């Protein structure tokens, strides 16, 4: 009884704040337009020309994700190398010197800043600057995923056994040598599998980015929704689900093979 | 010519070294896939009509600079800040309610989606899992855009969108949790003739409850982040304010909203980090 009351007290403000009125769903007006829209879903539109358009947008969605990931790697890899504390020479003797420590924390802060702005917001900003089209989507994915990859790469590298790296550094190897001959071989599999997983996420999010005008399947879906073209929306939803399923399957398979 | 004597087979002086795997091997499927991936990257840049010129040109740089300068000057009007606070609360309420609805619906769907014992025919398992996969594979934002037609603009559509997507995610996770629960207690009740519903309530549920709670809290954390941007398509909360003010080129307001968004996300990150630290100790 007490818990029921407590739950009610907690939930009531949330219900008010979100204007939670399920009955509006069943008002005749809303019901009519919903029914018309849903009825239009069947059968999905499968004309040759339209299907070709959807396929092209599909490829553009994947291409935006892939290009975005490539740029994200360009951002993430140097920043990871700069921020990982395993490659610190001064830390070999115990504590890192003050200056490199501050520098590394600064780079880490930059990564966190890049990551903490959602890609959709980046896309909105870039659409303002470069106009509608895939450029905004590629840049948005590059920045957010660059931050995300950089942070997680750093964590992966620091969670591994540092002995091999430290042995090389102690014997006079350069930081890059130590990275390529000790740190990278140790954690290559984990790094690759995380990258592949993120690529899958990027495909999903690049489809969503289209809704703010960054090109690809999302933009086409947004257009059709605004014109109440249920049949077109249905086709695109099905294609989108297939695409996500395919990316999911490919990434799972690839991670299994690489492990 | 002297006939060649067969050379005696000498044992190797030392054990053969295990060479590191070759970087490229024609039989290695993953290598081919990675090669394909590289080709795909090139093709991606090739086929997209990317407007680097527009982005790197002096004009774009100036535009970007002005844009950034405008973004650096957030507004601090009290009236606006109060509205911002309300929108932030709305975002949190949307995510909380959406997650709660999803946890209830997810649990309800997880029961038919799991095979509770080996003799269970679980006829509903495949169709329910298909339904959950369908709910899950459509992102919140797409759900919101679809639901706006039925529920109208505003936070209600956003809440429902979050609830639908999260139901798919949580339902799947809950079903896995139910199937992976230690079967002993449930079996003990079942052999006594206890009906299936009570077996779940008294044996399976108490075992998996902590796991269900942690999944739900984790999704709530994700949903706060998602709710912040859902409004961009008209789903209420901070995102709707952002889309509105950005559309009207109110740069000072836009800047404040962006800062509020980043603060909200950072706070959620910090809270989740802190609670993890406390719970792990």
For residue A166, give the nearest of A94, A100, A92 by alpha carbon. A92
- Partners of residue A41 in chain B, C-beta under 8 Å: none
User: Residue B253: what pLDDT?
Assistant: 85
What is residue A159's three-state secondary structure? helix
- Please report the ipTM that was assigned to this predicted complex: 0.80
- Partners of residue B138 in chain A, C-beta under 8 Å: 237, 240-241
Q: Is residue A2 part of a domain?
A: no
Q: Is residue A17 part of a domain?
A: no
First to last CA, chain B: 84
Q: Is residue A28 part of a domain?
A: no
Q: Is residue A37 part of a domain?
A: no
User: Residue B165: what pLDDT?
Assistant: 94
Q: Is residue A4 part of a domain?
A: no
Spans of chain A, pLDDT less than 70: 258-259
User: Residue B16: what pLDDT?
Assistant: 65
- Partners of residue B101 in chain A, C-beta under 8 Å: none
Contact of A11 with chain B, judged by CB distance below 8 Å, is answered with yes
- CATH code where residue A219 lies: 1.10.3720.10
Q: Is residue A110 part of a domain?
A: yes
Instruction: Out of B49, B67, B225, name the one closest to residue A118 (CB).
Output: B225
User: Residue B1: what pLDDT?
Assistant: 52
- Per the structure, the count of domains in chain A is 1
Separation in Å, CA of A134 to nearest CA in chain B: 6
User: Could you give the domains of chain B?
Assistant: 77-280 (1.10.3720.10)
A166: containing domain: 45-258
SS (H, E, C) chain B: CCCCCCCCCCCCCCCCCCCCCCCCCCCCHHHHHHHHHHHHHHHHHHHCCCCHHHHHCHHHHHHHHHHHHHHCCCCCCHHHHHHHHHHHHHHHHHHHHHHHHHHHHHHHHHCCCCCCCCCCCCCCHHHHHHHHHHHHHCCHHHHHHHHHHHHCCCHHHHHHHHHHHHHHHHHHHHHHHHHHCCCHHHHHHHHCCCCHHHHHHHHHHHHHHHHHHHHHHHHHHHHHHHHHHHHHHCCCCHHHHHHHHHHCCCHHHHHHHHHHHHHHHHHHHHHHHHHHHHHHC
Which residue out of A9, A10, A12, A19 would a mutagenesis test of the B interface target, given it has the greatest number of B Cβ atoms within 10 Å?
Answer: A19
Spans of chain B, pLDDT less than 70: 1-27, 29-30, 54-55, 281
């Amino acid at each position: 009884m007490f818990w029921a009351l407590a739950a009610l007290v907690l939930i009531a403000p949330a219900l008010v704040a979100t204007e939670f009125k399920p009955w509006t769903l069943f008002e005749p007006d809303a019901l009519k337009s919903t029914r018309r829209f849903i009825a239009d879903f069947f059968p999905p539109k499968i004309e040759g020309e339209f299907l070709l358009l959807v396929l092209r947008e599909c490829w553009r969605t994947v291409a935006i994700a892939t290009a975005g990931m490539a740029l994200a790697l360009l951002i993430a890899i140097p920043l990871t190398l700069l921020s990982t504390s395993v490659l610190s020479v001064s830390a070999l003797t115990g504590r890192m010197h003050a200056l490199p420590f501050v520098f590394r924390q600064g780079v880490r802060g930059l990564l966190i800043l890049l990551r903490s702005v959602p890609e959709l917001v980046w896309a909105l900003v870039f659409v303002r600057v470069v106009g509608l089209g895939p450029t905004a989507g590629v840049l948005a994915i590059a920045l957010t995923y660059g931050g995300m990859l950089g942070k997680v790469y750093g964590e992966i590298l620091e969670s591994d056994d540092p002995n091999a790296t430290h042995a090389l550094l102690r014997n006079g190897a350069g930081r890059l040598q130590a990275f390529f001959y000790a740190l990278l071989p140790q954690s290559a599999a984990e790094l690759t599998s995380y990258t592949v997983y993120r690529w899958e996420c990027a495909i999903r999010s690049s489809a969503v980015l289209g809704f703010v005008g960054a090109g690809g399947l999302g933009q086409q879906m947004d257009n059709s929704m605004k014109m109440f073209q249920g049949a077109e929306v249905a086709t695109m939803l099905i294609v989108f689900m297939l695409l996500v399923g395919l990316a999911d399957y490919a990434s799972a398979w690839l991670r299994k093979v690489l492990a | 010519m002297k006939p060649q004597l067969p050379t005696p087979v000498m044992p190797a002086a030392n054990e053969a070294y295990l060479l590191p795997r070759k970087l490229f091997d024609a039989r290695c499927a993953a290598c081919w896939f990675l090669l394909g991936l590289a080709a795909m990257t090139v093709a991606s840049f090739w086929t997209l009509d990317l407007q680097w010129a527009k982005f790197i040109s002096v004009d774009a740089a100036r535009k970007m600079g002005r844009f950034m300068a405008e973004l650096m000057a957030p507004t601090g009007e009290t009236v606006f800040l109060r509205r911002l606070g309300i929108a932030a609360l709305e975002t949190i309420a949307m995510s909380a309610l959406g997650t709660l609805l999803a946890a209830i619906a997810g649990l309800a769907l997880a029961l038919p989606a799991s095979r509770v014992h080996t003799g269970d025919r679980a006829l509903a398992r495949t169709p329910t899992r298909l339904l959950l996969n369908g709910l899950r594979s459509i992102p919140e934002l797409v759900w919101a855009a679809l639901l706006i037609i039925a529920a109208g603009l505003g936070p209600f559509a956003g809440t429902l969108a979050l609830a639908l997507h999260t139901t798919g995610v949580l339902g799947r996770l809950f079903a896995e949790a139910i199937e992976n629960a230690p079967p002993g207690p449930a079996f003990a009740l079942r052999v006594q003739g206890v009906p299936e519903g009570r077996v779940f309530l008294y044996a399976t549920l108490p075992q998996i409850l902590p796991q269900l709670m942690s999944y739900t809290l984790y999704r709530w954390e994700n949903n706060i982040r998602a709710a912040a941007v859902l409004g961009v398509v008209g789903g209420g909360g901070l995102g709707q304010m952002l889309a509105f003010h950005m559309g009207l080129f109110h740069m000072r307001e836009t800047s404040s909203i962006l800062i509020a968004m980043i603060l909200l996300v950072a706070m959620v990150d910090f809270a989740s980090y802190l609670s993890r630290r406390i719970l792990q100790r």
